């Protein structure tokens, strides 16, 4: 296998790594690597921080392991290699009346990355997390042995949401969900403040819901936003909205506070006061940001961080206080999202808990790093947790406390990988396998 030296980064581009990367095209080549010189597997590097980095070491990119191996169109079960992107999977199954059961906000994420982070989608409050829809997976462990991992086993619980620490996921078997057609019927409603935002998300009957939040609004308008409710439908697929690309790193003033405030106010008003219902292609609804290629360059050369935490339902006031702190700081970008999460989670280290999750993008500046530290402390006090797929800044002690079963998971990871060949920058930084 050829190993090429490369510099690569998390999606936020604030943390980087240099190391040797291999790109196997066959499961047999992946198995040979795991037998001879095991290294952490990484997907499309859509995690924002250092989850998929191994600075100074090696890593195995799975993106060429991208075959669909079997598709039972009657039962709606698909078997596919770990490097298949979720957007490609959606394109492959939707014409046959099926959808991937859980889709995060980007179609570039791979199946392996979706399992290793136990990702959630806009339907988490109803349908749970990605790992809850698996019939099983094939894991190639250090030493090269391929293991069939069934749900309801300790190895499954350590692998789903397990940050790639139990082995390289080679393929997964996923139960799909029925779709009424190839379009999304989306109702958009403006909400004027925090309480209305929570009430609208809570009262929504649609299977998919998400709130865009104006994280620059303060005072009586704190928490205002747009609530989207979506359901699949049949009908003519409208043309996708035009794709764009960010050609270069944007200068600092592009996201200066007055610019963001003005943009957010205009964005909020884009939806009529009476609301509206629109028909969208599936991918436009599930992956709205994918239409803008390299949008992470909007944050300039130094990149950005995303802070995402979840707090228990009854601690919503603590989340409101965190939003207030973000709004007061003037550091918010237009990208801020509020979602309802249900209790569903499939792994020991899975992120979701029943409650409210807030995600805010922050340009990588010293002030933003200090803000993220304050938000981390507030999330901990509220009994919440930070999402590792987004993190590059949190402290190990806080994260280990937020994931109380972490020691059990670390023991399972050590049993699977006794020589600690799969440790990544995130696992090192947070001391997750002490």
Ligand X SMILES: Cc1cc2nc3c(=O)[nH]c(=O)nc-3n(C[C@H](O)[C@H](O)[C@H](O)COP(=O)(O)OP(=O)(O)OC[C@H]3O[C@@H](n4cnc5c(N)ncnc54)[C@H](O)[C@@H]3O)c2cc1C
Q: Which residues of this chain interact with ligand X, rule CB under 6 A?
A: 11, 40-47, 51-52, 62, 82, 104-106, 109-110, 112-114, 116-117, 119-121, 163-164, 168-169, 289, 389, 424
Complex with ligand X: residue 76 or 121, whichever CB lies closer: 121
Complex with ligand X: residue 222 or 347, whichever CB lies closer: 347
Under a CB-based contact definition with an 8 Å cutoff, are residues 99 and 287 in contact? no
Backbone CA torsion sign across 27, 60, 301, 306: positive
Give least dist CB 169 to ligand X, A. Answer: 4
Place of tokens 């059990």: 408
Complex with ligand X: residue 378 or 430, whichever CB lies closer: 430
Give least dist CB 52 to ligand X, A. Answer: 4
Complex with ligand X: residue 41 or 368, whichever CB lies closer: 41
Under a CB-based contact definition with an 8 Å cutoff, are residues 362 and 372 in contact? yes
Spatial distance between the Cα atoms of 57 and 191, rounded to a whole number of angstroms: 48
Complex with ligand X: residue 222 or 430, whichever CB lies closer: 430
Burial group, residue 107, by CB count within 10 angstroms (0-12, 13-18, 19+): buried
Place of tokens 């809570």: 202
Complex with ligand X: residue 52 or 338, whichever CB lies closer: 52
Give least dist CB 344 to ligand X, A. Answer: 12
Give least dist CB 219 to ligand X, A. Answer: 29
Give least dist CB 190 to ligand X, A. Answer: 22
Give least dist CB 293 to ligand X, A. Answer: 12
Complex with ligand X: residue 158 or 183, whichever CB lies closer: 158
Give least dist CB 424 to ligand X, A. Answer: 6
Complex with ligand X: residue 259 or 289, whichever CB lies closer: 289
Give least dist CB 304 to ligand X, A. Answer: 11
């Amino acid at each position: 296998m050829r190993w090429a030296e490369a510099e690569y980064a998390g999606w936020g581009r604030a943390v980087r790594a240099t190391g040797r990367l291999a790109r196997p095209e066959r499961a047999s080549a992946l198995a040979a690597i795991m037998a001879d010189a095991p290294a952490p597997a990484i997907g499309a590097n859509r995690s924002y921080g250092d989850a998929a980095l191994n600075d100074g070491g090696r890593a195995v990119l799975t993106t060429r392991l991208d075959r669909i191996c079997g598709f039972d169109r009657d039962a709606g079960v698909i078997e596919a290699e770990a490097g298949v992107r979720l957007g490609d999977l959606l394109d492959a199954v939707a014409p046959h009346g099926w959808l991937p059961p859980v889709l995060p906000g980007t179609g570039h994420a791979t199946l392996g990355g979706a399992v290793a982070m136990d990702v959630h989608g806009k339907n988490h409050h109803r349908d749970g997390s990605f790992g809850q829809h698996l019939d099983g997976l094939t894991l190639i462990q250090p030493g090269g042995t391929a293991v069939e991992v069934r749900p309801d086993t300790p190895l499954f619980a350590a692998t789903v949401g397990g940050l790639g620490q139990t082995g390289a996921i080679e393929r997964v078997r996923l139960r799909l969900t029925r779709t009424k057609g190839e379009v999304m019927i989306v109702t958009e409603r403006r909400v004027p403040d925090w309480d209305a935002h929570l009430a609208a998300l809570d009262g929504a009957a649609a299977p998919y819901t998400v709130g865009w939040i104006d994280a620059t609004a303060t005072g009586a308008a704190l928490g205002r936003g747009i609530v989207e409710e979506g359901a699949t439908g049949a009908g003519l697929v409208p043309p996708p909205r035009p794709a764009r690309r960010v050609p270069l790193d944007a200068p600092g003033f592009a996201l200066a506070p007055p610019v963001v405030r003005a943009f957010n106010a205009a964005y909020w008003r884009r939806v009529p006061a009476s609301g509206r219902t629109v028909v969208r292609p599936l991918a436009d609804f599930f992956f709205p940001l994918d239409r803008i290629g390299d949008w992470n360059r909007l944050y300039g050369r130094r990149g950005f961080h995303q802070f995402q935490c979840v707090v228990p339902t009854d601690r919503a006031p603590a989340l409101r206080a965190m939003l207030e702190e973000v709004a007061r700081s003037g550091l918010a970008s237009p990208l801020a999202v509020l979602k309802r999460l249900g209790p569903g989670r499939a792994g020991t280290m899975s992120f979701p808990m029943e409650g409210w999750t807030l995600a805010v993008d922050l340009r990588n500046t010293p002030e933003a790093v200090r803000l993220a530290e304050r938000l981390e402390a507030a999330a901990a006090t509220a009994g919440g947790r930070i999402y590792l797929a987004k993190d590059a800044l949190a402290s190990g002690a806080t994260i280990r406390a937020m994931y109380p079963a972490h020691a059990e998971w670390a023991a399972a990871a050590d049993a699977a990988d006794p020589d600690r060949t799969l440790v990544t920058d995130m696992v090192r930084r947070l001391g997750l396998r002490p």
